[in-house]
Amino acid sequence: METVKPATILIENHILFSLFLDRDVIINCYLPTNVLHYSDISLLLINDGQNLEEMDFDIILSDLYSKNSISPLLCVGINCGKDRREEYGTVNVLDYKGRGKKAKEYQQFIFQELLPFIRSNYSINSFKEKSFCGFSMGALSALDIVWGNPEEFYIAGLFSGSLWWRTVSQDDIDFDENIHRIMHMKIRNGDYYPWLKFFFETGTQDETADRNGNGIIDAIDDTVSLIDELVLKGYDRKIDIKYLELADGKHDIATWSKVFPEFLKWGWGRGI
């Protein structure tokens, strides 16, 4: 099914059955209508794609295209399933409650089912580049997949990313946030991939929890410390990383919709 709304954006909705996930996956494709050759287009995968309609994502894109603010971008929203915390975990590393058991299968779905479908459906042999973003748990998943497959991607975008994901409960006497936060550990143990870029957003009202009692909420603390890990790995804090901390920003779609245009302009802006 396709919808043209507004004039500069074509929205196509597809249902793709995944053998890996054993479920129908709804995907929402947002295409600029003024692209002559899709071989010149970049791809942005978006976890929790069911949020995009409420964000008025088509209007966000249309406004940016009408101002010639961003380069052509095929945006694909991937709707989550009922096992969201199982699919949106970290590949090969479960959290302390044993969650994330389908993260590997979700990654297989991305590479072996979703990407081939997109290429075939839109007759695209290869994209200019591919990026992945998400919200909350979807952001954790996006970063994990990008970091685990750096040769495939350009940008990882995280909106209120669930970077608290850990192997040991914070109530455990042995818990050490410097050791047991899974994504921090993966960054620390990984290599330096100079082409990768990273976008992070947090809000001062993302949550109220302050695990280590330092006066900074966990959502901000976990994000800033992960950025520090990236810098230690070799990434330039000003060139390779963009961090936006919103005063009064919340863990909700309204906040993320305010920031999404900045993400798009940072990643695919035309000299802005």
Dump the DSSP string for 104-117. Answer: HHHHHHIIIIIHHH
Residue 136 class from Cβ within 10 Å (0-12 exposed, 13-18 middle, 19+ buried)?
Answer: buried
Q: What is the mean pLDDT of each run of 10 residues along the chain (272 residues)?
A: 60 98 98 80 98 97 94 97 96 96 99 98 93 98 99 98 91 83 97 98 89 85 97 98 96 97 96 53
Residue 91 confidence (pLDDT): 98
* Residues 206, 195 contacting (CB under 8 angstroms): no
The whole-angstrom separation of Cα 128 and Cα 144 is 22
Is-cis flag, bond preceding 116, omega within 30? Answer: no
Handedness of CA 19, 21, 24, 26 (dihedral sign): negative
Are the C-beta atoms of 75 and 58 separated by less than 8 Å? no
Amino acid at 65: Y
**How many structural domains are present in the chain?**
1
Domain holding 166: CATH number?
A: 3.40.50.1820
Q: Which of 158, 224, 157, 143 is nearest to 190 (CA)?
A: 143
The secondary structure of residue 160, as a DSSP letter, is: S
H/E run at residue 49: none
User: What is the domain range of residue 210?
Assistant: 2-268
d(CA 87, CA 139): 12
- pLDDT for position 172: 84
DSSP annotation string for 171-219? TSTT--HHHHBHHHHHHHHS---TT-EEEEEEEEES----TT-SSS-HH
pLDDT the model gives residue 272? 44
- Residue 152, CA distances (Å) to 80, 96, 98 in order: 22, 29, 28
3-state secondary structure of 190: coil
Nearest CA to 27 out of 43, 39, 11 is that of 11
Q: What is the pLDDT of residue 6?
A: 47
pLDDT number for residue 38: 74
Q: Both tokens of residue 10?
A: 């074509």
